[in-house]
Chain A
């Protein structure tokens, strides 16, 4: 048994199998259970080491060759696998409550496997192709068979696809830079190509217009899943470039660029969130701001920047999951999600509304909630390097907070006097409650993430050292 077989091939096989099933609950249990088991194995069973259980000896090899390419998942990748599949389990168990289990779980498993493969593949440039495959697999996830593709889906596909040639071309140029490091023109060209590739891949301003459009066109839960997984893996892919090329990670220009783009994402996402009049679009702009936080964390010159990057991942995943689930519940029950039609929904759907507001506050870094500890550390880190950046950071946070407060006001301001009710189904109540508890737990005790995060920086040989 090899690690790539277990964490790449197996999810693809299970995902393909669940495509044949018709019951939401069965699919949710199989998909969520598989993800949970895979996360558990990554947590317990060491890679490349024999594990003795009585007379039995179990060893998971780190390398496998698939279609002539090497896929390597070394022991240092195990914590990342725990997080990815653990979060997937959360998303998949919640998919039934959101009413999208039949589409999300099969395709979600395949997309996850492809993105894990993008981390494992050697030569690492093939990652761009695997990410592109994952993007193409995402199209049927976003688009039910009876629905015509909207502008958001098309732009998503176009922009993500455009990233691939730039990245491949950058990889080719970077090989040249390695050979002749003094060639300034080549260095500039390769940096430009790499930058353009990631501008498309991470949906940097203003290439993120597909995100709000997609949120309106497709299931919020399915889009939320992609908005969590794609930027996370794309960022790790980007970090592998920084780790590999010393001139890139030590370049003040690159770090300044990361910081500038991070701020642009945070401020534009925050500002636009403050003025949205639709609940789905608000979530879209918040997700955009989340990417800004990731880029800002990477731009820090301190040794803790990598710790900070990984500290952002779990709260981000949980926050988006809770937000997307709550939004799906409200959309399913209420239909339209414009502010005008969402007025007073908190009286009928208090748990979904509370989850929505808490997830939004968490993203804005409100204390007690999951997003607070990483944002606090990030803000302090930025302030330590530049007070101006810290002030702009505040502007972005204020935008997000304004969006959250506006949403709260809309949800609680009923048009006429109505009594409180609890109209969510039992499964929705259960999943939303788990999510809300999780938001508070991570906000009060961020150290509980430590066992999963402490060895993650070892994934990179040079970065953060």
Chain B
């Protein structure tokens, strides 16, 4: 029941903000109302701990003979930290919004809170059907937000591409469901046939919100720090929870090593690009690629707790960094807690990250540890780049109190989750791996000022002069698509033209021949 209360609290708050905006645009306490609703929801999520595991069955889809599953929500030791992380992120974004240029902006807060509500539904989805429904809701909401924010056709196009990429993820999830049905065993989070498991993995990958890399938000950093952070991290959480839920047995396949190699390459690429990104907002997609790849690796090694630990770190550590928009010495230092959370050292948030129970680990470990070091080094670099930010001291007195509370909340929660509250808490983990990653990180931080190739890449708005292979691939795909389009157009012209009737008669003859050849 508490699950429903938390979610309803968030949606009611968002609705109240919308109604207030329409009926009383001058209402002065919208921020307070938004924060109160979110904090209440946050407290109720905290209270889930008293009832774990718990589940809610929503009204069943009828007729039961056609629907093997019905929507439902359930919270357990893996769903709870995700839900808590999302609620914390929403509260932190509202607290830190007090220093942004667009303050107050009730419409944006309503969207942020709604996204958090949908995110809670996603991480507590009891089966693939519920997850597909929640994913669709998230996609539609994000599409509307992005289209509202877009100013030109290019950004609108990218919004549609992002939507279609995620829709492809939903299709893969449903395909996994169909394959389960073909095997006579509907896919759920406790069992799935091997082919279905790999499809679930691909679905989660497509839906991480990484593609396209640069989503069309306005250049105002206020929107990017608040709304974009909420949307993208929630999208990631809603996908990563699937990784943690995929039954381990369904991932045992001959292609698993190949997937591990791909994950390793993606992790190194994401970490490298993140470390060299000009600023943290530009590097956000790479942050997600890097950590999601580590989460995928954990899933492939049959370590759902490890998957969840990387996912929660993605939200909490990333959240703390992305919502930080002002310079304050102590806050900058406090952000080191985020680096510690990523370190996989004992009792840290990601301590369970390198625990594994599958053989063949040693061969891939160096690659993943390198990626982890890139991510940590990048985190520290972005956290320690205060010169580009305005000082906190210029803000009003109340904002000086509230803003650090937002950042502090995110840092405090990742610290606490290292010790208690979920399946991966109080873990010692793989100490040698954690030490290796940490030493490599220190090495990278030492080397960064000394070696130019470790420094930020040029700004992404400079067009590359050479067409990349990926662009070439897209062009070839486009040529094939247009060829297919011309083919269908030609067939249509033939059938709809003057000779169409003759073709139809020919078809009829074939049809009759076909029928008369077989027994009814």
Residue ranges of A at the interface with B (Cβ–Cβ < 8 Å): 151, 155, 184, 187-188, 191-192, 195-196, 199, 206-207, 209, 212-213, 247-248, 251, 253-254, 257, 271-272, 275, 303-304, 307-308, 311, 343-344, 346, 365-369, 373, 376-377, 379-384, 387, 390, 394, 397-398, 401, 405, 408-409, 412-415, 417, 420, 444-447, 450, 453-454
Give 4 nearest A-B pairs by CB, closest first: A367-B136, A377-B66, A447-B62, A275-B485
Knowing A275-B484, A387-B182 touch, does A450 contact B62 (C-beta < 8 A)? yes
Query: Taking A192-B515, A420-B148 as contacts, is the C-beta distance between A207 and B66 under 8 angstroms?
Result: no
Pair B182/A405 contact, Cβ less than 8 Å:
no
Closest to A257 in B: B515
Question: Closest chain A residue to B514 by CB distance?
Answer: A257
A413 contacts B153, C-beta separation under 8 Å? yes
CB within 8 Å of A: which of B208-228? Answer: none
Cβ-defined partner of A394 (8 Å) among B59, B63, B68, B171: B171
Chain A residues with CB under 8 Å of B175's CB are 394
* Nearest-neighbor residue (CB-CB) of B516 within chain A: A188
Contact A397 B503 (CB under 8 A): no
Given A379-B178, A390-B182, A445-B59, the answer on whether A196 and B508 have CB atoms closer than 8 Å is yes
Contacts of B159 in A (CB 8 A): 412
A164 to B62, CA, bound (A): 37
Tell me which residues across on chain B come within 8 A of A271, comparing CB atoms. 484, 488
19 A-B residue pairs with CB within 8 Å: A188-B515, A196-B508, A199-B508, A209-B496, A213-B496, A272-B492, A275-B484, A304-B63, A307-B65, A367-B135, A368-B136, A369-B136, A373-B67, A376-B174, A379-B178, A380-B178, A394-B175, A412-B150, A413-B157
Say whether B512 contacts A307, CB under 8 Å.
no
Contact B496–A275 (Cβ < 8 Å): no
**B191–chain A nearest beta-carbon distance, Å:** 16
> Per-residue CB proximity of B371-386 to A under 8 Å, as 1/0?
0000000000000000
| Closest chain A residue, CB of each to CB of B172 | A394
**Is B440 an interface position by the 8 A CB rule?**
no
CA of A192 to CA of B516, assembled, Å: 7
8 Å CB interface, B149-187 against A: 150-153, 156-157, 159-160, 163-164, 167, 170-171, 174-175, 177-179, 181-182, 184, 186
B495 interface neighbour in A191, A209, A254, A307, Cβ under 8 Å: A209
B218 to chain A, nearest CB (A): 13
B182 touches A397 (CB 8 A): no
> Are the C-beta atoms of A413 and B178 separated by less than 8 Å?
no
Residues of A within 8 A of B61 (CB): 373, 446-447
**B160, A401: Cβ atoms closer than 8 Å:** no
Minimal Cβ-Cβ distance residue in B for A260: B514
Assess the B512–A253 pair: CB atoms within 8 A.
no
Contact A212 B519 (CB under 8 A): no
Interface assignment of B504: CB less than 8 Å from any CB of chain A: yes
Contact flags (1/0) for B463-506 with A, using CB distance below 8 Å? Answer: 00000000000000000000011001100100110001001100
Shortest CB-to-CB span from A133 to chain B, Å, is 24
Task: Determine if B171 and A272 form an interchain contact, defined as CB atoms under 8 angstroms apart.
Answer: no
Which residues of chain A come closer than 8 Å to B266, judged between CB atoms? none
B140 within 8 Å of A by Cβ? yes
Q: CA A373 – CA B59 in complex, angstroms?
A: 14
C-alpha gap A192/B503 in the complex (Å): 19
Closest B residue to A190 by beta carbon equals: B520
Complex partner residue of A450 from B63, B186, B495, CB under 8 angstroms: B63
In the complex, the answer to whether A248 meets B520 with C-beta atoms within 8 Å is: yes
B488 interface neighbour in A275, A373, A380, A453, Cβ under 8 Å: A275
Which A residues are CB-close (under 8 A) to B152? 414, 417
Residues of B within 8 A of A365 (CB): 174
Nearest chain A CB to B491's CB is how many angstroms away? 8
Chain B: residues with Cβ within 8 Å of the partner, total of 59
Judge whether B189 is part of the interface by a CB distance below 8 angstroms: no
Q: Is the CB of B518 within 8 A of A412?
A: no
- Bound Cα distance A212, B493 (Å): 11
Complex Cα–Cα for A304 and B167 (A): 28
Binary A-proximity of B345-372 (CB < 8 A = 1, otherwise 0): 0000000000000000000000000000
Chain A proximity of B260: nearest CB distance (Å): 27
* Cβ-closest chain B residue relative to A398: B171
B147 contacts the other chain (CB 8 A): yes
Within 8 A of A (CB), among B99-150: 129, 132-133, 135-137, 140, 147-148, 150
B62, B67, B508 — most chain A CB neighbours (10 Å): B62
B72 to chain A, nearest CB (A): 13
CB-CB under 8 A from B68, the residues of chain A are 380
| Extra A-B contacts (11), CB below 8 Å, given A401-B164, A413-B153, A413-B156 | A207-B504, A253-B520, A307-B66, A367-B174, A369-B136, A376-B129, A376-B174, A379-B177, A444-B133, A450-B63, A454-B62
Distance in angstroms from B274 CB to nearest chain A CB is 30
Q: CB within 8 A of B519: which of A155, A188, A308, A446?
A: A188
Q: Which residues of B contact A390 (CB under 8 A)?
A: 178-179, 181-182
A368 to B507, CA, bound (A): 39
Q: Which residues of A contact B132 (CB under 8 A)?
A: 367
Set of chain B residues within 8 Å of A454, measured between Cβ atoms: 62-63
The yes or no answer to B511 lying at the interface (CB within 8 A) is yes
Closest B residue to A354 using CB positions: B144
Please name all residues of chain A whose beta carbon is closer than 8 Å to the beta carbon of B495 when the two chains form the complex: 206, 209
> Once bound together, how far apart are the Cα atoms of A373 and B66, in whole Å?
9
Residue B60 at the chain A interface, CB threshold 8 Å? yes
Given the known inter-chain contacts A209-B496, A367-B170, please indicate yes or no for A377 contacting B67, CB distance below 8 A.
Answer: yes
Instruction: Given A414-B153, A447-B61, verify A253-B518 contact (CB < 8 Å).
Output: yes
Given A199-B511, A384-B181, the answer on whether A417 and B160 have CB atoms closer than 8 Å is: no
| Chain B residue contacts of A445, Cβ below 8 A | 59
Decide: B520 and A251 in contact? CB cutoff 8 A.
Answer: yes
- Chain B: minimal CB distance from A316 (Å): 16
Q: Within the complex, what minimum Cβ distance (angstroms) separates B117 from chain A?
A: 15
Given A379-B178, A380-B68, A401-B167, the answer on whether A447 and B489 have CB atoms closer than 8 Å is: no
Minimum CB–CB distance from A365 to chain B (whole Å) comes to 8
A405 touching B67 by the CB < 8 A rule?
no
Q: Which of B44-62 contact A (CB under 8 A)?
A: 59-62
B65 and A303 contact, CB distance less than 8 A: yes
Complexed CA–CA distance, A449 and B181 (Å): 24
Closest to B186 in A: A380
Contact B59 A409 (CB under 8 A): no
Q: Could you say which residues of chain B place their CB within 8 Å of the CB of A367? A: 132-133, 135-136, 170, 174
Smallest CB gap from B137: residue in A:
A368
B376 to chain A, nearest CB (A): 37
> In the complex, A369→B167 CA distance in Å?
13
Query: In the complex, A384 Cα to B147 Cα: how many Å?
Result: 40
Contact assessment for B511 and A195 in the assembled complex, using a CB-CB cutoff below 8 Å: yes
Also in contact, A405 and B63, with CB within 8 A (given A213-B496, A248-B520, A251-B520): no
Q: How many angstroms from the CA of A258 to the CA of B17 in the assembled complex?
A: 53
Determine the chain A residues whose CB is within 8 A of the CB of B157 once the complex forms.
Answer: 409, 413
Query: Are the CB atoms of A412 and B65 closer together than 8 Å?
Result: no
| A450 surroundings in chain B (CB, below 8 A) | 62-63
